[in-house]
């Protein structure tokens, strides 16, 4: 079977298939053929994958191996005249795998992740990658995990209409700036500069793609499920009730975030790194007018970009999937490079088993704070008793998009239950699902 491998700062660093959860592993493959078959296989593989490199506080890579069942991209050209465009002005895009049978009238929309850009220069950099332009997106991909069409992988949603919503605005699909900003940038190691227009139109992208999907059958949906990974997981919090409002009256609608619960905490030096970062994003992309008034009327708008303040306001049933030890947050929120100039945390961040006793206390404190901020949800005393959670003790980031981590026999489990099983039972209402793992390193399934 074809596989999809992804290692990324914002779009979701996957679990290692070898090694331990304390040490993000390497996925290494080798295909050996004899004689002429080696050459033929090499040529075939070269034609069958696309590798894209971009960056946001780290290196992002995406390798897509084409599966016999691939899904073609839809670049929504009609959105351009509405101003609903990616950072570079190209049309927004998505991959739609049509539902069939009993799932033909059900829709699952999944926001892709990929971090954010806080300055015009950072956004310009993204405009030359798939995180800011549909020109760099693959024409066809294999969709795994909760987007898979294989019932052995995705037993509850395999026959639904499944949409992978490509992320190209840098603001969790929530920005709105009418003005087109021309950005100039000096190129490193070159005696030149580049200049290009940059568009901040995330909310328009959301509306344009939703309208297109409504015209393709979503207007008659019987069930809807909005999900997302990382920055896309934050987008699920931001757009959940908006999605519910688009669905037909009487439709069953729920939402979920995968690794989108970014903690509102200072870094180890005491600096408000992530808060300052979000404040810059919110200001740059004029996000404040789109944030819930119930939040911005009493808080700094930057705070209202955190899930901890959004979740209590969401009326639609919501499921939070998050690792108790989010490795992306460890690198970018808890211990960013500037907070550790001597590099004392490098070993700990690479492998939690290598943490000092003091570092272990900080690491466990991160999980404690996550559970504290999720307290109303976890204890089911929120205004929405239909909420749920799956908080494992793995050192990981996104967990929905890979077959094995979503539902594989060797994937992470809590009380013997896989992520796919827990999410499916929660969505169907079989029973309440609030699964909280024991502290690291107690869970052996986190070392698969």
**pLDDT at residue 195, as a whole number:** 85
Residues 232-237 have a mean pLDDT of 98
336-382 pLDDT tens trace? 999 999 999 999 999 999 999 999 999 999 999 999 998 866 555 44
pLDDT at 60 over 60: no
**pLDDT at residue 273, as a whole number:** 98
Just list the catalytic residues: 230, 326, 397
pLDDT category of residue 302 using cuts at 50, 70 and 90: very high
Cβ(439)–Cβ(393) below 8 Å: yes
Residues 167-176 have a mean pLDDT of 98
- Domain ranges for the chain: 4-447
Distances (CA, A) of 133 to 91, 172, 185, 228, 395: 8, 15, 18, 19, 31
Beta strands 223-228 and 161-165: pairing type? Answer: unpaired
37-52: burial string, b at 16+ Cβ within 10 Å, e else: eeeeeeeeeeeeebee
Please tell me the distance from the alpha carbon of residue 414 to that of residue 423, in angstroms, as a whole number. 12
Q: What is the mean pLDDT of the chain?
A: 85
Specify the pTM: 0.84
Please tell me the distance from the alpha carbon of residue 127 to that of residue 192, in angstroms, as a whole number. 18
Q: Is 135 or 43 the better-scoring residue by pLDDT?
A: 135
Cβ(208)–Cβ(76) below 8 Å: yes
**pLDDT at residue 430, as a whole number:** 78
pLDDT at 18 over 90: no
Please tell me the distance from the alpha carbon of residue 109 to that of residue 213, in angstroms, as a whole number. 10
**pLDDT at residue 173, as a whole number:** 98
pLDDT at 36 over 80: no
Q: 3-state class of 28 per DSSP?
A: coil
83-123 pLDDT tens trace? 999 999 999 999 999 999 999 999 999 999 999 999 999 99
pLDDT category of residue 7 using cuts at 50, 70 and 90: very low
pLDDT at 15 over 60: no
Please tell me the distance from the alpha carbon of residue 229 to that of residue 111, in angstroms, as a whole number. 6
Q: Is 8 or 266 the better-scoring residue by pLDDT?
A: 266
| Edge-to-edge strand ranges of the sheet holding 4-7 | 4-7, 59-65, 49-55
Residues 151-160 have a mean pLDDT of 96
Q: What's the sign of the alpha-carbon dihedral 236, 147, 98, 225?
A: negative
pLDDT category of residue 319 using cuts at 50, 70 and 90: very high
Please tell me the distance from the alpha carbon of residue 438 to that of residue 391, in angstroms, as a whole number. 9
Asked if residue 409 has a cis previous peptide bond (ω within 30° of 0), the answer is: no
Please tell me the distance from the alpha carbon of residue 425 to that of residue 114, in angstroms, as a whole number. 28
Please tell me the distance from the alpha carbon of residue 284 to that of residue 124, in angstroms, as a whole number. 13
Q: Which of 27-41, 52-66, 237-251, 384-398 has the highest mean pLDDT?
A: 237-251
Q: Select from 185, 238, 153, 210 the least CA-distant residue to 419.
A: 153
Q: Which of 183-187, 371-375, 392-396 has the highest mean pLDDT?
A: 392-396
Could you tell me where the DSSP H helices lie in 103-143?
Answer: 120-126
């Amino acid at each position: 079977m074809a596989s999809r491998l992804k290692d990324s700062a914002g779009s979701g660093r996957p679990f290692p298939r070898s090694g331990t959860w304390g040490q993000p592993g390497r996925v290494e493959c080798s295909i050996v053929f004899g004689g002429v078959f080696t050459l033929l296989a090499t040529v075939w593989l070269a034609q069958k994958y696309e590798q894209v490199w971009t960056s946001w506080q780290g290196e992002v890579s995406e390798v897509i191996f084409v599966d016999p069942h691939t899904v073609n991209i839809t670049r929504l050209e009609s959105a351009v005249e509405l101003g609903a465009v990616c950072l570079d002005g190209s049309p927004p895009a998505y991959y739609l795998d049509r539902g069939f049978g009993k799932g033909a009238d059900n829709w699952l929309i999944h926001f892709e992740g990929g971090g954010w850009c806080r300055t015009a220069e950072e956004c310009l950099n993204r405009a030359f990658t798939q995180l800011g332009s549909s020109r760099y997106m693959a024409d066809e991909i294999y969709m795994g995990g909760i987007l898979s069409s294989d019932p052995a992988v995705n037993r509850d949603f395999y026959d639904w209409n499944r949409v992978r919503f490509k992320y190209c605005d840098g603001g969790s699909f929530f920005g709105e700036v009418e003005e087109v900003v021309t950005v100039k940038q000096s190129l490193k190691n070159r005696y030149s500069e580049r200049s290009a227009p940059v568009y901040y139109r995330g909310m328009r992208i959301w509306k344009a793609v939703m309208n297109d999907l409504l015209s393709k059958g979503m207007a008659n949906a019987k069930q809807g499920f909005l999900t997302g990974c990382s920055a896309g997981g934050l987008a699920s919090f931001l757009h959940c009730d908006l999605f519910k409002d688009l669905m037909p009256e009487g439709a069953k609608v729920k939402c979920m975030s995968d690794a989108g619960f970014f903690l509102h905490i200072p870094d180890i030096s005491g600096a408000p790194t992530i808060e300052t970062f979000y404040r810059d994003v919110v200001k740059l992309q004029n996000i404040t007018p789109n944030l819930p008034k119930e939040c911005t009327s009493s808080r700094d708008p930057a705070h209202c970009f955190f899930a901890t303040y959004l979740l209590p306001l969401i009326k639609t049933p919501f499921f939070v999937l998050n690792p108790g030890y989010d490795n992306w947050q460890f690198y970018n929120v808890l211990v960013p490079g500037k907070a550790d100039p001597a590099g004392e945390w490098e070993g700990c961040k690479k492998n939690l088993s290598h943490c000092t006793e003091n570092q272990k206390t900080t690491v466990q404190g991160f999980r404690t704070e996550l559970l504290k901020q999720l307290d109303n949800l976890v204890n089911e005393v929120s205004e929405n008793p239909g909420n749920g959670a799956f908080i494992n003790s793995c050192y990981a980031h996104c967990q929905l998009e890979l077959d094995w981590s979503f539902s594989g026999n060797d994937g992470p489990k809590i009380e013997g239950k896989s992520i796919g099983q827990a999410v499916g039972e929660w969505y169907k209402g079989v029973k309440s699902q609030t699964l909280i793992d024991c502290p690291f390193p107690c869970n052996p399934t986190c070392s698969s």
